[in-house]
Chain A
Amino acid sequence: MKSLNVNGVERRFSDEEMPATLAELLKQLDTEASVAVAEIDGRIVRPEDFARTELADGQMIELVRFVGGG
């Protein structure tokens, strides 16, 4: 088993299910449309880099979007 902490929630993956890249994770979670930018272990990942950003067991991932605000 492998795990990723995504937006504060621990998610477990079998070795086959573990997404290889950030883009694959977003696809699995069905959040591709809404993620504006991400952070992995405090490092910022731009949308154009999602597909080539590889994931590893135990990472802390923040998926961030824009919302209305003043």
Chain B
Amino acid sequence: MDKLTIAGKTFDSRLLVGTGKFTSPQVMADALAATDAEIVTVALRRVDIDDANDDTLSHIDRDRFLLLPNTSGARSAEEAVRLSRLARAATGIDWVKLEVTPDPYYLLPDPIETLKAAETLVKEGFIVLPYINADPILARRLADLGTATVMPLGSPIGSNQGLKTRAALEIIVEQSNVPVVVDAGLGLPSHVAEAMEIGADAVLVNTAIATAADPVEMARAFKLATEAGRMAYESGPRAATRSAEASSPLTGFLGD
């Protein structure tokens, strides 16, 4: 399989994994290991003074995983930029998954605020991976600004609905000159395989792994699906046809 390159950095794995919703830090660590992922996302929140638990970071092997802080919770460009700067100050990492989601019901990304934040962050030297709706024009505008990837959604975050945006994703894949990471809504390994088969460069999965009855086994399933989908894509799948195409010879039948 080809390697994935984002902002000049090369990765063997095309599966990015989120760290939310795991039942314990140990389950998270085991599941992350099972995915073979090299990039994992984390979020920034206020410390709960009355219940100051160890932070998530201490359970993530930072020699093995590149941390990708997200700006979840941001409802405007200004809030996303603030979170990005905090994340960089905390980790020394320039990479940020930019997400601006003002609507808590569907958590759909705000394209205008995302574009504004991306412009500021790129100027400040961030490696920006923006979470967007599957909008080919927005994807191109962001890439033109200098974002490292685009991360169009398959369906709303955590919804497990799969690739509801497939037709638009195919256009983004066709036109994009930066890696396309399909993010959000990928509920089953088959959804991930489908995204990779249509030529996505990578996928990001969190909820479907973290909330499975057996997150570690599900992590393996997603790893295999990502690899299978990519291999199929690189192998040149044939187009669907309306009628049958016999796979056995149509000559030399007995009794002819």
Q: Which residues of A contact B (CB under 8 A)?
A: 6-9, 29-31, 33-37, 39, 44-47, 62-70
**Complex: chain B residue closest to A7, CB-CB:** B46
Beta-carbon nearest neighbor of A36 in chain B? B90
**16 other A-B residue contacts (CB within 8 Å) besides A7-B46, A66-B57, A68-B42:** A34-B47, A34-B52, A34-B54, A44-B85, A47-B90, A62-B46, A64-B45, A64-B46, A65-B47, A65-B55, A66-B69, A67-B43, A67-B45, A68-B43, A69-B42, A70-B207
Distance of A40 from chain B, by nearest CB (Å): 12
CB of B172 to closest CB in A, whole Å: 20
CB-CB < 8 A to A62: which residues of B?
A: 46
Binding site for A on B (CB under 8 A): 18-22, 28, 41-47, 49, 52-57, 69-70, 72, 85-87, 89-91, 157-158, 184, 204, 206-207, 210
Alpha-carbon distance between A13 and B229 when the two chains are bound, in angstroms: 60
On whether the beta carbons of A68 and B56 are closer than 8 Å, the reply is yes
Inside 8 A of B87's CB, which chain A residues have their CB? 37
Which of A30, A34, A35, A45 has the most C-beta atoms of chain B within 10 angstroms of its own C-beta? A34
Q: Tell me whether A69 and B47 are in contact (CB under 8 A).
A: no
Could you tell me if A66 and B56 are in contact, using CB atoms closer than 8 angstroms?
yes
**Contact A68-B28, Cβ < 8 Å, known A7-B49, A30-B52, A37-B89:** yes
Are A67 and B42 in touch, CB under 8 angstroms? yes
In the bound complex, residues from chain B placing their C-beta under 8 Å from that of A44 are: 85-86, 89
Residues of A within 8 A of B91 (CB): 36
> How long is the Cα–Cα vector from A68 to B210 in the complex, in angstroms?
10
Report chain A residues within 8 Å CB of B89: 37, 44-46
* B52 pairs with A69, CB closer than 8 A: no
Do B54 and A33 have beta carbons less than 8 Å apart?
yes
Beta-carbon contact of B20 and A70 below 8 Å: yes
Could you tell me the distance in whole angstroms from the C-beta of A1 to the nearest C-beta in chain B? Answer: 19
- Can you offer 25 A-B residue contacts whose CB atoms are under 8 A? A8-B46, A9-B49, A29-B49, A30-B52, A33-B54, A33-B55, A35-B47, A44-B85, A45-B89, A46-B90, A62-B46, A63-B46, A64-B46, A66-B55, A68-B22, A69-B19, A69-B20, A69-B70, A70-B18, A70-B20, A70-B41, A70-B70, A70-B72, A70-B204, A70-B207
- Greatest chain A CB density within 10 A among B46, B87, B91, B204 is at B46
Q: A69's contact among B49, B53, B72, by CB below 8 Å, is which?
A: B72
Q: What's the minimum C-beta distance from B108 to chain A, rounded to whole angstroms? A: 15
- A55 CB to nearest B CB, Å: 16
Which of these, B44, B158, B204, B206, contacts A67 with CB under 8 Å?
B44
Q: Which residue of A lies closest to B184 (CB)?
A: A70
Say yes or no: B49 contacts A31, CB within 8 Å.
Answer: yes
Complex: how many Å from CA A34 to CA B58?
9
Q: Assuming A36-B55, A39-B86, A44-B89, is B28 touching A64 (CB within 8 A)?
A: no
